[in-house]
Amino acid sequence: MTFAVEIELVSGDERLLTDLLKDFGLNVIKGDKDNLLIESPKTLQECSSNDLRDVVKEKISLIQKTSIQTLEVEVGSVIEFNEFGEKVGEHVFAELSGNATFNISAAGKITVHTSASPEEIARLEAAESEREFQKAYSVSATRLRAAQKHPVSLKVMEYLNMKPTPLNLFHAVEIMMKHMRGNLNELTSRRNLRRFLQSVNHPEVFHLEARHAVANNKKPDNPMTITEAEIFAKKLAEKWYEYLVNN
């Protein structure tokens, strides 16, 4: 007997989801009800249906938290198959899972000259769509691997998915600094890091939202705006995730 966990992709990119599941060694096949089935890998074939479903839910939850695109997934029944691949049973669970709330949508647009033929437009749009997919997959896969090796990275992702306030951005960067023991030279310049920290900390820059209510130092000459601070923190985080994966 073998098992497969039934899942339904409520919203999101099916190819992105299935490719990220493959990174976990989980193979996805089409079911007979326009749904998806995650086949039980050899390492989990001795698990009970309930344990297998819990493992799949855990992996999908991590994928949702680390993906840069929203993936809303419902995990359903566990299907039982005989040695001939015929369905012989179904383990139904009352509770369905599937909220994806930590994610940032990554949509790309392409501008095409009106003189292009419909075929050329379709080709260019397909090429752009593929580039956007590869970018989303690459970033999401890096985040996923970073979270597997260093779960603390999930906290950084969580802060950076919150409203971009000076305090939230500081906390995200602070986690990275502590993990790197204060040495972020491989990821950013000291000048940019100092400018970021002086900006989010100083009450004359962000007033009541600043990390400090009172400052001993004068206002920085060229403080970051909240948009600049957000861009800095997010770019730094992407470099940090890559560092975590490769070191």
Predicted confidence (pLDDT) per residue in 178-220, tens digit:
999 888 988 999 999 998 988 888 776 676 566 655 566 667 7
Q: Do residues 119 and 171 share a domain? A: no
Closest Cα partner for 145 from 69, 66, 70, 73? 66
Task: Please tell me whether residue 238 adopts helix, strand or coil conformation.
Answer: helix
- 76 falls in which pLDDT band (50, 70, 90)? confident
Pairing of strands 72-81, 2-11: antiparallel
Straight-line distance from the first to the last Cα atom of the chain, in angstroms, rounded to the nearest whole number: 40
Q: Do residues 165 and 45 share a domain? A: no
Q: How many structural domains comprise the chain?
A: 2
The CA R_g of the chain, rounded to the nearest whole Å, is 23
- 97 falls in which pLDDT band (50, 70, 90)? very low
Mean pLDDT of the chain: 81
Choose between 84 and 75: higher pLDDT: 75
How far CA 228 is from CA of 92, 133, 161, 192, 240, in Å, comes to 49, 26, 16, 11, 18
How would you label 223-239 residue by residue, b for 16+ Cβ within 10 Å and e otherwise?
bbebeebbebbbebbbe
DSSP 137: H
Domain boundary among 102, 120, 149: 149
Q: Do 156 and 235 form a contact (C-beta atoms < 8 A)? A: no
Q: Do residues 158 and 136 share a domain? A: no
Q: Do residues 20 and 139 share a domain? A: yes
Closest Cα partner for 171 from 125, 229, 87? 229
Residue 117, both tokens: 């033929």
Residue 9 CA, chain-centre distance (Å), reads: 16
What residue has token string 């990554």? 106
Sequence-ordered list of residues with C-beta below 8 angstroms from that of 50, at least 6 positions apart, any chain: 78, 91, 93
CA distance 148 to 2: 27
Domain boundary among 133, 149, 165: 149
Domain boundary among 100, 120, 149: 149
Residue 88, both tokens: 């012989």
Q: Do residues 83 and 121 share a domain? A: yes
Q: Do residues 136 and 154 share a domain? A: no
Domain range for 186 is: 150-246
Q: Do residues 118 and 184 share a domain? A: no
Q: Do residues 88 and 28 share a domain? A: yes
Q: Tell me the pTM.
A: 0.70
